[in-house]
Every structure is written in structure tokens, then in C-alpha cells.
Amino acid sequence: MAVGSSETGRTKTTGARRPFPLRVVVVIVVALFIASTALAYEAGTQAGTGPSTTSTVSFLNLSVIMNQTYSAAYGGSGFPQYVINSTSGSGSGTNFTLPEGTVIVTITDHDAVTRYNQCVCNVQGTVGGTETLNGTPISYVSPSNVAHTFDVPQLGINVLAPGQSVVSFVLDLHQVGSFRWECLAPCGSGPQGFGFPMFTPGFMEGTMTVT
Ligand SMILES: [Cu+2]
């Protein structure tokens, strides 16, 4: 008797099946859309691409070394010089070429701090307006703690490299062209520090080409 009752009940339920209410379908579709959008955004954020419209991620590793070759002529202990350690783009001297998209830049600064009284010490033009200093995100460096800078005036990029430090930052390059980059901290010779190697291509100045 019990089995018979159960079967009767099941048959009744099946017979009473109705189409899914339209309202429920709409709610499910909207929920799925929101979920997929959120997942896509999260994936983009984790990849460091942010709002970039391209998916290319490149890297550029620079160092500031003390060039002993130039020390004898000036009677000093060497002049600071930017050099390319490695890059997923191409480059020689202080000129490099990178594809449009996201670029992760690292600067290893072996030099000591300089006097930079006119310092524009806010990080500008990087993704998030920050750089990391020895792994810690910052958006400002004290004028008394700057050894060199990495500036691309045309693109509004201003990054500070403190003495004996490793800084890293992310650029979202979406403008094709050739741009002069330079160090603005008075790291050169002369009483004000604006002599060689300041404003010298191959030392404190170069060209960044975006393709
Ligand atoms: Cu410099």
C-alpha cells in the first residue's frame, strides 16, 4: 500500500510540472552575467593589467651603477649611469623599445642619495600612482632620500629611486612613439650637481620607444 501511494504521488507531481516562470529565468541570467563580469575583472586585476586594453605584459630591469671608467678623468670615484640589465623588449645603452601594454619596471639603484631640494617627490604616471620601495608600496619619497629619478615628461611619468634601493612600478603604455626619459635629480658634477652625467644620453638620459 505504501509503495502504491508513493508512486501515485510521484505521478501526480510529474503531471503538474509547469514551465519555469520567466521571472526566475531572468534572475538566473542576470546573476550569471554579474558573476562572469566579476570573474573577468578579478582575473584582469590579478594579472596586473588593470584597465589596459591590451594583454601584453613586458618587463624592463634597469640599474644605476657607478661607472669607474669615467672616474679617472674627473678625479672622482665614478659617475652614476643607468644601464639595462634585461628586458623582454629590446635595447642598448639607455635606449629601449617596448610593446604597447603593461610594463613592469625595476630599478636597482647602487648610488647614494643626493641633494634634491626642488624635488617633485610624488610618484606620478604609474598604475595606481605608486611604486614599491624594497617591496613596500609608496606614493612619495622624501627629498632627502632621492638618488635618481626616472622621468618621461611627455607621458607624465615621475618615479623616484632612493639610495641603495630597489624600486618597482607598473606602466600602462598605450601611446605609440619615441619618448625622451631622463633623471631629474642633480646627480652630476659641479656645485649644483647638474654637470656630467646629467642630461647625458647613455648615462642619465635615453629614449623609450613604444611600438
Ligand atoms: Cu641621476
For residue 6, the model assigns a pLDDT of: 41
Taking the centre of ligand 1 as the mean of its atom positions, its distance from the CA of residue 162, in whole angstroms, is 11
Neighbours of 24 (CB within 10 A): 9
Weakly modelled stretches of the chain, pLDDT under 50 = 1-16, 25-26, 29-30, 32-50, 52
| Percent of the chain clearing pLDDT 70 (strictly above) | 73
To the nearest 5 percent, what fractions of the chain are helix, strand and coil?
25, 35, 35
For residue 121, the number of C-alpha atoms closer than 13 Å in the C-beta half-sphere is 15
pLDDT score of 82: 98
As a CATH number, domain 57-210 is 2.60.40.420
Instruction: Note if the pTM is more than 0.85.
Output: no
Å from CA of 23 to ligand 1 middle: 65
Q: Hey, where are the domains in the chain? A: 2-46, 57-210
* pLDDT tens by residue, 75-114: 777 899 999 999 999 999 999 999 999 999 999 999 999 9
Residue 80 CA, ligand 1 centroid: distance in Å: 7
Could you tell me the distance, in angstroms and rounded to a whole number, from the CA of residue 176 to the centre of ligand 1? 26
**For 33-42, how does the pLDDT look when each residue is reduced to its tens digit (9 = 90+)?**
444 444 444 4
**pLDDT in the model for residue 20:** 53
Q: 101 alpha carbon to ligand 1 midpoint, in Å?
A: 26
